[in-house]
Structure 1
Amino acid sequence: MIRPSIIARSARTAALCLPAPGAHYWLCEKTAWRLSSPDDARDLQQGVADTVVTLLHGLHPARRYRFEAEGFQPVSFRTTPCAGLIDAADFGLLPDIAPADLDGAGANAAALAEAIAAVPSGGTLYLGAGQWTSLPVGLRGQRTLHLAEGAILQAPSERTGWPILPAHDHSGRMLGSWEGLPAACFAAPIHAVAVEKLVIEGRGILDGSGDRGDWWRWPKETRDGARRPRGLHLISCRDVTLLGFTIRNAPSWTIHPQGCERLTAAGLSIIAPPDSPNTDGFNPESCRDVTITGVRFSVGDDCIAVKAGKRGPNGEDDHLMETRNVRVSHCLMERGHGGLVIGSEMSGGVHDVCVEDCEMIGTDRGLRLKTRRGRGGSITNIAMRRVRLDGVETALSVNAHYHCDADGHDPWVQSREPAAVSSATPVIDGVTIEDVEIRRLAHAAGAFLGLPEAPVRNVSIRRLKIVSRDPEAIATPPIMADHVRPMRHEGLVVEQAEIDCDDPALISAASVSLSFE
């Protein structure tokens, strides 16, 4: 029998993985489970699991539990202690404040700040059921924010009085950012800076109110001296755990860990409308040791975008840090520009990223690597294993001519002639694809476009299966680079890339680029 694993646990919540063979996000069959405690015979829960990553709520601190599920070995665990439970409602929090009521939102922000200050180290701030509108609040480390079922913590729709994070703090560390560069930005509705051992958990909802204000109407602009806020912004934090909650309608990127270490996200729901600009789901930037598991995405841009900062227009690089060891598993990407994306802000280097046992439905691309001349840095050791793609237009995309930024279409970026190699030349080396299944293929199973001066190296593809093709697909360029020809129902299309495929018949004889004659 298969033994479940404990992904993460807090005083009142636990996330378990039920790794049934062949299961991605959903279990192949629903599984009845029972949770008991040898410490208290009255503490008994029963339920039915339909997802591989299962969240257990309503637990008690510092208590032993035994989890039993049909077809799995029993597993025991102990919840963590809690040094005290503080109810935010005891601090004058006002319910049902209208999103446009800035006075009420400000009063609630002050009440929440007072409540957060009252939570002892190792304690929990409890936000009960109700709709709570608040200006942005900063969280403290060594504490838990518990969002009860029915709790909605929402940002106001207006930005008057909204705090702004400067580009740097007094020590020069990057605080505010925008697309990989230091920049003043509005503080996220929930944010934390340089904290350790933070937990955000529960069945409740964080709502960024991006759909209510004007945030989505100026996606690339600066207003009032700042860029748009994220939904949840974690800056230079360590040992962060995110469990079970829903986060929606972020003004820009939804969850943005920046310069963080040891972060686990399990069982979240991340939601934004399909036409909302740059509402990426989860963007770890310059982070180490990140686990994203059992998360359901439906967003307006990339579901997960792994980043490592961007070299400045004059070569500025003192803000760059690498991203290393990102593990994505048992996630469901139902819509988005890409399922698992790396770049294009990758100048600090992105290494050791693995996506396994996931399902991507209706995303534009599945695994997507994007960079361009001027970025520098390297992308190494990237893997995709046991992933099912359904209705994904281009399953695999590796593009070193990505036409981002104001000069992205300039000849020096898009030329297919070799350029001089320098510190601004990006490198892609080491991509492993195994046991990937593609259904309703539209454009290409894979499009690989490297630089002539730095070809894509060491791509290994094993057991890639094209089950079906979309009969209504229209020939379209499969990657965002200039001079790329439209494609429909093609296999692996390769230019300036080294591909080792166990089925050579999948590799097209045609080039990615249009003829330059």
Structure 2
Amino acid sequence: MNFHILFCSSRHVTIELDEDAIYETASYEIWVNGRLKGVFHRMIQTIDGLLPDTDYEIMLVRANEASETVTFHTEPEPITLNVRDFGAFGDGVHDDTSAIQAAILCCPKNARVLIPKGTYPVTALFLKSDMILELQENAVLAGIYDRARTPILPGQIEYDNEDGYYNLGSWEGNPIDSFASMITGIHVKNVTICGKGVLDGRADFENWWSRPKDKIRAWRPRMIFLNHCENITVVGVTVQNSPAWNLHPYFSNQIRFLDMEVKGPANSHNTDGCDPESCTNVEIAGVHFSVGDDCIAIKSGKIYMGKKFKVPSKHIHIRQSWMQDGHGAVTVGSEIAAGVDDIHISKCRFSNTDRGLRVKTRRGRGKDSVLKGIVFEDLELEGVKAPFVVNSFYFCDPDGRTEYVGTKEALPVDERTPKIESIEFRNIVCRNAHYCGAYIYGLPEQKIERLVFDNVSITYAKEAQTGVAAMMMGCEPASRLGLVIGNVKNLILHNVSIDGQDGERLCLSGVENVEEEQD
């Protein structure tokens, strides 16, 4: 059995097995410097309790098989600042925001701020560059619901001597005032957030989730918000009960989310798991999502932000993760006005989400909204109601049900018209689908350039539910539909197996070229 080091800090190492399994595998032991650290079954696993600036040897053992020994050296760490020494109580009663913030502000370069066992009520904490924030096992940062005491990040602050503005807050693709998040990073770099602790927003329907469509002083906070940050790694922690999106990297680069749990009630409002927005080089690996909205939603702003900054989300790589009980397992859009490029999802498990692989866009996202290089491969879908959905008529905006957005007639292509260039689905098994195998529609005036299904199999649940596959006008409730595909220039079907649909296997309209082959 082979593995490699995925991440190493001063006191943690994360390994990834080099096997074909998805998310979990047969149990194995991890040995570090000749000592057993435990028995594990996940493909990506973090080991803690290491010492800084130290040589280590790590080996994996399964039954009578042992891996080669891999050596690594932990990062140096000059000092640890314990938040208890700065006055934090950790008793679940006192507001510990100021004490923890003081420790962060006093942290020297490459040092560690330690949050030991305990419950620490906080509003919002602001990171600084070149630091480690560690939450030990049974340490909980517990969100305080108090809109009057929570800082606000202004959406736009005009510069004094030049055109333009300083953007801090964001809400659903626009520069709008929002509350600072439990962990907020503004123009920081080289930060690790790690440990076995918990970030608990403590949101519920009596506080943050009440009146979710209303702006009350400002829009709801996230759990981790990274605005123009670089080289940030979050590893090992659990994030739960967020007021809104859980993880929101925004105009950031080199962001990693590794070996995490992200969870919230299935009926919670806007609690997306991870939403990279206008980001580059984002890695999501070994993360279990179970949330009330999209597990992952890749974005690049609405048309104002897309036209002004033209920063797409690109080089987003997602693997060895489990998406469970959300609206969409992995979604591109709908706030996608600057486009996306090189989106690669592989070796993931989707369970009981409403939709599996989901692209949502609409007229009005703009000509800079070009979606290309989207590849989903080596995936397992179980109980997903609509496994493949591409919707160019997405109506969940204030103007989403207008004639302009919803008409199926071809309109003139102009500066408001988005484009989908290429989407590929490869080596995917879908079991127990409900509404359909796929529901895919491009715009009639700007058809999807290239759509590929390669080695894809779909079966349906014995008692398949009836529902609406795509949030678009004219999409009626259905059950056991085959592949419904419209407005595509080039459709390639290779080794596509559909078993148990009601009616036609392929329901095509406005598809110019079809290539179908079975080996």
Give the TM bin, normalised by the shorter chain.
over 0.9
Q: What do the CA deviations read for 1:355-382 (whole angstroms, capped 9, x no partner)?
A: 1000010001111000000002111010
> Is 1:448 aligned to residue 445 of structure 2?
no
Equivalent residues in 2 for 1:186-205 (5 A)?
186-205=179-198
Q: CA deviation at 1:155?
A: 1.3
Report the Cα distance in structure 2 between the residues aligned to 1:83 and 1:132, rounded to whole angstroms: 25
CA contact 1:351–1:380 (8 Å) conserved in 2? yes
Q: What do the CA deviations read for 1:102-158 (whole angstroms, capped 9, x no partner)?
A: xx32xx211112111221111000000001101211011100000000100111122
Report the Cα distance in structure 1 between the residues aligned to 2:398 and 2:123, rounded to whole angstroms: 34
Which secondary structure state, in structure 2, belongs to the residue aligned with residue 115 of structure 1?
helix
Q: CA deviation at 1:212?
A: 7.2
Report the Cα distance in structure 2 between the residues aligned to 1:250 and 1:231, rounded to whole angstroms: 6
> Is 1:67 aligned to residue 58 of structure 2?
yes
Which secondary structure state, in structure 2, belongs to the residue aligned with residue 176 of structure 1?
coil
Query: Could you tell me which of 45, 49, 63 is aligned with 1:54?
Result: 45
Which residue matches 1:83?
78
Query: Could you tell me which of 116, 122, 125 is aligned with 1:137?
Result: 125
CA contact 2:114–2:134 (8 Å) conserved in 1? yes
> Is 1:123 aligned to residue 111 of structure 2?
yes
Equivalent residues in 2 for 1:497-512 (5 A)?
497=488, 498-503=490-495, 508-510=505-507
Q: CA deviation at 1:440?
A: 0.6
Which residue matches 1:181?
174
Structure 1 residues 110, 484: closer, same or farther in 2, change over 3 A? same
CA contact 2:13–2:46 (8 Å) conserved in 1? yes
Query: Could you tell me which of 22, 25, 37 is aligned with 2:23?
Result: 25
> Is 1:347 aligned to residue 337 of structure 2?
yes
Which secondary structure state, in structure 2, belongs to the residue aligned with residue 217 of structure 1?
coil
Query: Could you tell me which of 110, 125, 130 is aligned with 2:98?
Result: 110
CA contact 1:302–1:338 (8 Å) conserved in 2? yes
Equivalent residues in 2 for 1:378-393 (5 A)?
378-393=370-385
Q: What do the CA deviations read for 1:231-255 (whole angstroms, capped 9, x no partner)?
A: 1111100000111000101100001
Q: CA deviation at 1:96?
A: 2.2
Q: What do the CA deviations read for 1:242-272 (whole angstroms, capped 9, x no partner)?
A: 1100010110000100011001111010011
Report the Cα distance in structure 2 between the residues aligned to 1:320 and 1:230, rounded to whole angstroms: 24
Q: Letter of the aligned partner of 1:460 in structure 2?
A: V
CA contact 2:482–2:507 (8 Å) conserved in 1? no
Q: CA deviation at 1:475?
A: 3.0
Which residue matches 2:515?
none
Moved over 6 A (4+): none
Which residue matches 2:253?
261
Q: Letter of the aligned partner of 2:394 in structure 1?
A: Y
Identity of aligned residues (%): 31
> Is 1:338 aligned to residue 328 of structure 2?
yes
Report the Cα distance in structure 2 between the residues aligned to 1:491 and 1:340, rounded to whole angstroms: 21
Which residue matches 1:35?
32
> Is 1:326 aligned to residue 316 of structure 2?
yes
Q: Letter of the aligned partner of 2:348 in structure 1?
A: C
Query: Could you tell me which of 380, 404, 413 is aligned with 2:405?
Result: 413
TM-score by length of structure 2 reads 0.92
Equivalent residues in 2 for 1:75-474 (5 A)?
75-98=70-93, 104-105=94-95, 108-169=96-157, 172-211=165-204, 214-224=207-217, 226-312=218-304, 317-376=307-366, 377-466=369-458, 468-474=459-465
CA contact 2:453–2:496 (8 Å) conserved in 1? no
Which residue matches 2:476?
485
Report the Cα distance in structure 2 between the residues aligned to 1:503 and 1:52, rounded to whole angstroms: 28
Report the Cα distance in structure 2 between the residues aligned to 1:475 and 1:230, rounded to whole angstroms: 33
TM-score by length of structure 1 reads 0.92
Which secondary structure state, in structure 2, belongs to the residue aligned with residue 417 of structure 1?
coil
Which residue matches 1:40?
none
Report the Cα distance in structure 1 between the residues aligned to 2:422 and 2:505, rounded to whole angstroms: 21
Report the Cα distance in structure 2 between the residues aligned to 1:64 and 1:191, rounded to whole angstroms: 33
CA contact 2:223–2:247 (8 Å) conserved in 1? yes
Q: CA deviation at 1:487?
A: 2.8
Report the Cα distance in structure 2 between the residues aligned to 1:245 and 1:259, rounded to whole angstroms: 23
Q: CA deviation at 1:477?
A: 2.5
Q: Letter of the aligned partner of 2:111 in structure 1?
A: G
Q: What do the CA deviations read for 1:204-249 (whole angstroms, capped 9, x no partner)?
A: 000112127511012121102x111111111100000111000101
Q: CA deviation at 1:458?
A: 0.9
Report the Cα distance in structure 2 between the residues aligned to 1:368 and 1:305, rounded to whole angstroms: 9
Which secondary structure state, in structure 1, belongs to the residue aligned with residue 68 of structure 2?
coil
Q: CA deviation at 1:30?
A: 0.5
Report the Cα distance in structure 2 between the residues aligned to 1:157 and 1:94, rounded to whole angstroms: 19
CA contact 2:435–2:478 (8 Å) conserved in 1? yes
Which secondary structure state, in structure 2, belongs to the residue aligned with residue 292 of structure 1?
strand
Which residue matches 1:6?
5
Q: What do the CA deviations read for 1:388-435 (whole angstroms, capped 9, x no partner)?
A: 000001111111001121111111111111111112111111111111
How many correspondences in the alignment?
493
Q: What do the CA deviations read for 1:312-368 (whole angstroms, capped 9, x no partner)?
A: 4xx983255211000000001121001110000000111110110000100011110
Unaligned runs of 5+ in 1: 38-43, 99-103
What RMSD, in angstroms, separates the aligned Cα atoms of the two structures? 1.7
Report the Cα distance in structure 2 between the residues aligned to 1:118 and 1:401, rounded to whole angstroms: 50
Q: Letter of the aligned partner of 1:385 in structure 2?
A: E
Q: CA deviation at 1:474?
A: 2.9
Structure 1 residues 199, 213: closer, same or farther in 2, change over 3 A? farther
CA contact 2:117–2:138 (8 Å) conserved in 1? yes
Report the Cα distance in structure 1 between the residues aligned to 2:89 and 2:55, rounded to whole angstroms: 37
Unaligned runs of 5+ in 2: 160-164, 499-503, 511-519
CA contact 2:37–2:47 (8 Å) conserved in 1? no
Q: CA deviation at 1:87?
A: 0.4
Q: Letter of the aligned partner of 2:300 in structure 1?
A: A
Q: CA deviation at 1:483?
A: 0.8
